[in-house]
Amino acid sequence: MYKKITIVFALMLFASYAFSQTLQSPEEFLGYKLGTQFTRHHKIVEYVNYVASVKKDMVQIEQYGTTYEGRELMLLYVSSPENIQNLESIRKNNLRLTGIVKDNTKTQSNNVPAIVWYSYNVHGNEPSSSEAAMLTLYELVNPSNKQTKEWLKNTVVIIDPCLNPDGRDRYVNWYNQVVGINSNEDPQSREHNEPWPGGRSNHYNFDLNRDWAWQTQIESKQRIKKYNEWMPQVHVDFHEQYYDDFYYFAPAAEPFHEVITQWQREFQEMIGKNNAKYFDANGWLFYTKENFDLFYPSYGDTYPLYNGSIGMTYEQAGHSRGGLSVTKKDGEVLTLTDRLMHHYTSGLSTLETSSINANKLITEFVKYFDDANNGKNSFYKTYILTSDNKYKIEAAKKLFKANGILFGTTNTSGLKGYNYQTNKDTDVKPLKYTIAVSTCQPKGVLANVLLEPKSKLSDSATYDITAWSIGYAYGINTYAIKEKKEINYAETLITEVRKYNTNYGYLISYNSINSVKALTYLLKKGIKVRYTEKPFTYKGKNYERGTLIIVKAGNNIDSINNNINKLSTLFDVDIDAVETGYMDKGLDFGSPYVKLITKPNILMLTGDGVSSLSAGEIWHFFDRELNYPITLINANDFGRINLKKYQAIIMPDGYYKFLSDKNASEKLKEYISNGGKLIALENAVSQITSLEVGIKSKINTEKENDKEKEDYSLLKKYADREKDYLPSSIPGAIYKIELDNTHPLAFGYDSIYYTLKTDANIYEFMKEGWNVGYLKKENYVVGFAGYKIKEKLKDGTVIGATESGAGNFIFFAENPLFRLFWENGKLMFCNAIFFIENN
């Protein structure tokens, strides 16, 4: 498509190749023309380092981190020589504009550069953007390109050339292995059909474009730290979509979150019109205002928007099926060259618009944060988070710190607010541990979006989940207060280190994921750990179900003392020494209700048919949070697996072909009957019902009872076809589950648990099993759920356990580890692994 390009950007590009004497173009440095092959990450790193070394007056480079697989994460700061000399002053001044930095230095808001941040390749198998990043960098600093030099006088461009190097190299290395000397344009060719798990996600198969706010992955943590040190005025997240689509750029589709300002909307329109000018000139088709909304807070467009930026997503056709060239349905051949040129063009067009409007960008940026610091657009001015469980509060603090959200304490006496547990205004009842978050602060808008009880939807047809409130996700009693309260931001730091020593044993309270980390630590050290199924009292202190018991029976007491002292420095847990197995009240340690925890060998099924995202969440959870080994085996190899080696099998969300095979199904049933434990999540549960393990889908039963109605409801309008699904849609809504917390699966919980429902899966109440978590008639809380879904999600079980022979089947109709930010589900998932004993 090079021959089609007539616009100024392309003329600049070709002129630069002719006149640049000292700076090598990507083609000259790499030895091939961009678009003729995919560039591996290390070569991208080499090129950007090379440019930074040659153009030191215009470029600063920084390695801000590494991926799980050890690849470099890079940022390039590109601007005029004058701006580069004053780069740190520009950064600090920008933070003063927000109120994040407060010092005696005078803040400048006139004639200061706007900061424009470009994020490329967050999804590894959307590879054209990293190619475009190299070309964009080159044109910004190329001496022959006079226009970009003008734009850089009042802008600082920050380029992250590849957010997901592990995923990119997974895709690129695979593609290079399967492509011939000439690429095959047939979309049915193997080079257009990437194998499981694909390159979209990072090392742990986690979608990094759902992780901006939650920061569960190392790439996100390192990147957001740098982002919050800059706080750009403009941010573009470069993506790819299905190869038959056309280019998408802002303005975005509804729903917009109501906190998005009029200026943020207007500037997206300005960007869109300027992009359209160049795309029209080249005859490139595009679309705006469709598909990609601005609601869920953890995307590469919404997170910047909720931090005062103009956040935008650009989507180029191609994706993993694009390869180097592919024939579209309309007969046109889409090449990698086309794709990178589209991204290159939209990137420079965005910079042009930002440069022309730099003063306005700064003015509106200042206004945004003035309003945020005064809580102008926040209905609720203060949030109170309170719990008897300090670990839940600590988890919330960790999230707030990662996002630069200030928190502290306040006087709650006489306060009334919206109570998340009752959905009514009530008196605030502080529990043992309480923190307060004011929305009158620099990060007030983001704080409000993450904490508000109900986010208002302007359009139900949304791209992602519609509810995520921290109070529910973290299991913390929360109150939303309309009044601004004074916050004491001084945080008390507890540095006490206790020395433990006993001649008998210890008790560890079981109330957080830290308790599980302590448990797995001890099990790996070969120490026998028990837990109690009934509460008891020792020395006047009550110990709840699930309390971990470590005594010298079966253990070496010196080893116990040494390891308890070590783990106390690693994990924040409640540890009490115990001098006898005779309790003041309740059971003693020899009771049959005190159970020995067997260190389980765990198998997780992965591969074709399994959701790579669901499997990745579980893999990351065990590997990085619990530091406990699990064995990953492809589901298609189920027939050859020696199941006797494993005490537990985990089936993540997915569709399992082997369950259609009679011999494989019988093998799994036999595994359970012989004492094995099967744990299934989401759609895997519905497949397991065919094994006759004691559960039956409520949805299937209702379908059997339904009769086709010959009425006017069958008459539909063609124009409404894209929204006809909404009555049966639930992209992500919060429901209140009632728990039987006397069952080991719910140890460590109160009688209520809030879950995120993303489908209609629900099961009939079991006669022979344990209905541990169930929905009654009025358990909907917040988020969009179509009326047909609401009618179905009631009077059924969503979390349960059944016994089959000598073994157990445990199921979660929802995902307790959803994107690893649903903190309150993690303990329950661990209970399924460590507490449900085989008969």
Question: Which of 101-110, 519-528, 610-619 bottoms out in mean pLDDT, i.e. has the lowest?
Answer: 101-110
Using the predicted structure, report yes or no on whether residue 718 has a pLDDT greater than 90: no
How big is the chain by its Cα radius of gyration, in Å? 28
d(CA 125, CA 197): 11
Quote the pLDDT of residue 4.
Answer: 45
Mean pLDDT of 564-576: 96
Distance, C-alpha 704 to centroid of its chain: 37
Contact 674, 807 (CB under 8 A): yes
- Sign of CA pseudo-dihedral 557, 560, 566, 571: negative
> 344: pLDDT confidence band, cut at 50, 70 and 90?
very high
d(CA 62, CA 46): 13
Which helix (H) or strand (E) element contains residue 791?
helix 787-792
Which helix (H) or strand (E) element contains residue 451?
helix 444-451
The 8-class DSSP code of residue 292 comes to: -
Tally the C-alpha atoms within 13 A of residue 621's C-alpha that lie toward its C-beta: 27
In tens, the pLDDT along 160-176 reads 999 999 999 999 999 99
Report the SS3 class of residue 722.
helix
Strand order in the sheet with 247-248: 59-66, 72-78, 155-160, 114-120, 234-242, 310-318, 247-248, 286-287
Mean pLDDT of 471-483: 98
Quote the pLDDT of residue 21.
Answer: 52
d(CA 551, CA 297): 47
Structure tokens at 381: 């001015």
Quote the pLDDT of residue 547.
Answer: 98
Q: 650 or 10: which carries more pLDDT confidence? A: 650
d(CA 164, CA 52): 21
Quote the pLDDT of residue 837.
Answer: 78
- The Cα-based distances of 195 to 86, 171, 243, 656, 834 in angstroms read 48, 9, 17, 16, 33
Quote the pLDDT of residue 614.
Answer: 98
In tens, the pLDDT along 356-372 reads 999 999 999 999 999 99
Mean pLDDT of 707-719: 65
d(CA 140, CA 161): 14
Structure tokens at 448: 């409000």
Quote the pLDDT of residue 461.
Answer: 78
Q: 728 or 532: which carries more pLDDT confidence? A: 532
Quote the pLDDT of residue 194.
Answer: 97
> 594: pLDDT confidence band, cut at 50, 70 and 90?
very high
Instruction: Give per-residue burial for 318-335: e unless 16+ CB within 10 Å, then b.
Output: bbbbbbbbbbbeeeeebb
> 473: pLDDT confidence band, cut at 50, 70 and 90?
very high
In tens, the pLDDT along 183-221 reads 999 999 999 999 999 999 999 999 999 999 999 999 999
Mean pLDDT of 622-651: 97
> 493: pLDDT confidence band, cut at 50, 70 and 90?
low
Largest CA distance in the chain: 89
Quote the pLDDT of residue 702.
Answer: 53
Vertex 73, ends 619 and 818: CA angle to 5°? 30
Mean pLDDT of 607-617: 98
Q: 701 or 737: which carries more pLDDT confidence? A: 737
φ and ψ at 312, to 5 degrees? -145, 150
Report the DSSP pairing between strands 234-242 and 310-318: parallel
In tens, the pLDDT along 250-263 reads 999 999 999 999 99
Structure tokens at 760: 């209609």
Contact 291, 330 (CB under 8 A): no
φ and ψ at 417, to 5 degrees? -165, 170
Q: Which stretches does DSSP call E strand in 565-621?
A: 575-578, 585-586, 594-597, 602-606
Structure tokens at 160: 């992250």
φ and ψ at 629, to 5 degrees? -75, 140
Contact 36, 128 (CB under 8 A): no
> 456: pLDDT confidence band, cut at 50, 70 and 90?
confident
Cis geometry, peptide bond prior to residue 197 (ω within 30 degrees of 0): yes
The 8-class DSSP code of residue 481 comes to: E
The position carrying tokens 């719910």 is 746
Contact 319, 125 (CB under 8 A): yes
Quote the pLDDT of residue 693.
Answer: 85
In tens, the pLDDT along 25-48 reads 999 999 999 999 999 999 999 999
Using the predicted structure, report yes or no on whether residue 19 has a pLDDT greater than 70: no
> 694: pLDDT confidence band, cut at 50, 70 and 90?
confident
- The Cα-based distances of 795 to 706, 768, 789 in angstroms read 18, 17, 13
Quote the pLDDT of residue 460.
Answer: 77
DSSP bridge partners of 64: none
Please report, rounded to a whole number, the percentage of residues in the chain having pLDDT higher than 90: 89
Question: What does the mean pLDDT of the chain come to?
Answer: 94
d(CA 222, CA 216): 11
d(CA 829, CA 815): 9
What's the per-residue H, E or C state across 367-415? Answer: HHHHHHHCCCCCCCCEEEEEECCHHHHHHHHHHHHHCCCCCEECCCCCC
> 713: pLDDT confidence band, cut at 50, 70 and 90?
low
Quote the pLDDT of residue 839.
Answer: 54
| pTM, two decimal places | 0.95
d(CA 127, CA 144): 28
